[in-house]
Amino acid sequence: MRSKKKLAVAAVIVAVMVTMIIPSAYGVQPDNAGTLYSTYLDWLQGKPVGLAKISLGMDHQIQRATLVVVDYTLGEPKILYQGPMLTPTVKIQRIPKGTKIETVIKDGKVVREPRTVYRPVKLLIIVSGENYWGTKFIEFHPEKPLTSVNIKVPLHRDNIGPSIQNLNPKNEFQATSVKVGDMFMEDVKIFRLHSVPGVEEHLIINEDDTLAIDSFSQTVAQWEQPSSDRWERSGRVSTPFGYASEVPTSDGKMKTVYATVRYRIDRYDVCGYLICRTVYELIPQEIVYFSKIDTDNDPGTIPSNLIRYSHLRDAGDEFTAYFQESSDDGGVYFSTSVSACAGEGVQICFSGTVDTYRQSSNNRPAVKVIINSWHGNVLYFAKYSENGNYYEVPLQWG
């Protein structure tokens, strides 16, 4: 009997610590204590969970603002938070996807040790007010149980205001998500391959490789039809290929690779203080297949703004160029003009440019270079530029 009482008292003490003491220690607001306690219970059951504290930065003052946080980590959207513009702490998935050996300095020595690699968390942030609105799609790797995420949501002017069409008479916070359908955007430019006489380049795509591609959003009054040319960029999304593939080029030919990208169309009806707003979101889900490949003559020179690397004859007849440098992260790689329509029940159309991005934080395709015959003692190659828009491996004989 005493042991049962002790267990009950211990459980109460743990509950108090989790709901009152631990939140303040981790910078979690007291009204988020329920989320922390739920996470703690999941952790006790061995579930791969963690916490993310969401802090927003704004360029403008929003009137009667509502915040919605949606989790896309597992594919299907799940609303984690809906309510006023606070700093919510939400429960996220910390799903291990393997280990990675990395070089670190420990006690003044350079050592190699394993590090757990987690599946990236994907969150959609929606901000809705009377005078401004905005969305931002973010990704991060949950290396620690508690992650603080600072987000700057791009805001767009839109004086929607209370009206008969968008009135929220109960003044309740409410957000609903509906999948409208899938949109296939064809001929999105994703890669360019180079070659010079005697050399082959192969684009190597592994099953887990991704490429960062634009997502888009648009707001309308409730039940209005979105316009094809009013889409706003809402952040880059690591988009998987979903298949392994290889594209070669050789003998001074340059190939530009285009792909069909499947986008998910979601509609969010967001209600806050007095008003309701409808937000449509286009989120890339998969690079389905290569839609076309253009072939041209390669100039066989490296642009002057790129950093050159040298591969000497005695280093072997092949090498692989990986895109994993920390400085190779961010810039636009290609922009493609695209027009597409889709939707079930309501037709959603898109007309604009889709950007692909250089990105080093996720798995990406590599370029394998095979030298069949030497036309000099050194083969120069480049991989990126901090100021340029390159995500390819141009070659030049030296």
Q: pLDDT tens digits for 293-338?
A: 999 999 999 988 888 899 999 999 999 987 765 555 567 889 999 9
376 phi, psi to nearest 5 deg: 165, 180
Q: Is there a domain that residue 295 lies in?
A: yes
Return the higher-pLDDT residue of 87 and 115: 87
Final residue of a domain: which of 107, 124, 159?
159
Token readout for 144 is 């620690």
Per-residue pLDDT averaged across 84-94, rounded?
93
> Is the same domain home to 254 and 360?
yes
Strand ordering across the sheet containing 308-312: 308-312, 378-382, 395-397
> Is the same domain home to 57 and 190?
no
Give the pLDDT score at 20: 44
Q: Would the pLDDT of 129 be above 80? A: yes
Q: Is there a domain that residue 7 lies in?
A: no
Q: pLDDT tens digits for 21-67?
A: 444 444 455 556 677 778 878 878 878 899 999 999 888 888 889 99
Q: Would the pLDDT of 352 be above 50? A: yes
Q: Is there a domain that residue 1 lies in?
A: no
Strand partners, 67: 83, 127
By C-alpha distance, which of 208, 231, 220, 219 is closest to 354?
A: 231
Return the higher-pLDDT residue of 391 and 66: 66
Q: Report helix, strand or coil for 21.
A: helix
Burial of 58: CB neighbours in 10 Å, binned 0-12, 13-18, 19+: middle
CB atoms < 10 A from the CB of 169, how many? 8
Q: pLDDT tens digits for 284-294?
A: 999 999 999 99
> Is the same domain home to 129 and 217?
no
Final residue of a domain: which of 127, 159, 191?
159
Q: Distance from CA of residue 124 to its chain's centroid?
A: 10
Burial of 108: CB neighbours in 10 Å, binned 0-12, 13-18, 19+: exposed
Per-residue pLDDT averaged across 364-386, rounded?
86
Give the pLDDT score at 390: 58
> Is the same domain home to 244 and 349?
yes
> Is the same domain home to 145 and 215?
no
Q: Would the pLDDT of 17 be above 80? A: no
Average per-residue pLDDT for the chain: 84
Residue 169: pLDDT band (50, 70, 90) is: low
> Is the same domain home to 205 and 151?
no
Q: Domain range spanning residue 45?
A: 18-159
Q: Is there a domain that residue 134 lies in?
A: yes
3-state helix, strand, coil in the chain (%, to 5): 10, 55, 35
For residue 364, the 8-state DSSP code is: -
> Is the same domain home to 395 and 249?
yes
Residue with tokens 């403008």: 60
Q: pLDDT tens digits for 202-249?
A: 999 988 889 999 999 999 877 788 999 999 999 999 999 978 899 999
**For the chain, what is the domain count?**
2
Q: pLDDT tens digits for 258-290?
A: 999 999 999 999 998 888 889 999 999 999 999
Percent of residues, the chain, with pLDDT higher than 90: 54
> Is the same domain home to 148 and 193?
no
- Terminal C-alpha separation, the chain: 85
Give the pLDDT score at 12: 36
CB atoms < 10 A from the CB of 143, how many? 12
> Is the same domain home to 43 and 104?
yes
Final residue of a domain: which of 159, 186, 215?
159
Q: Is there a domain that residue 168 lies in?
A: no
Token readout for 302 is 């490296």
Q: Would the pLDDT of 158 be above 80? A: yes
Give the pLDDT score at 15: 44
Q: Is there a domain that residue 109 lies in?
A: yes
The secondary element (H helix, E strand) that includes residue 71 is strand 66-71
Give the pLDDT score at 384: 59
Q: Which residues of 75-98 are buried (b: 16+ CB within 10 A; e: fewer)?
A: eebebbbbeebeebbbbbbbbeee
> Is the same domain home to 93 and 241?
no
Q: Is there a domain that residue 326 lies in?
A: yes
Q: Would the pLDDT of 14 be above 90? A: no
- CB-based contact 93:51 (threshold 8 Å): no
Per-residue pLDDT averaged across 75-80, rounded?
95
> Is the same domain home to 222 and 309?
yes
Q: Is there a domain that residue 279 lies in?
A: no
> Is the same domain home to 325 and 235?
yes
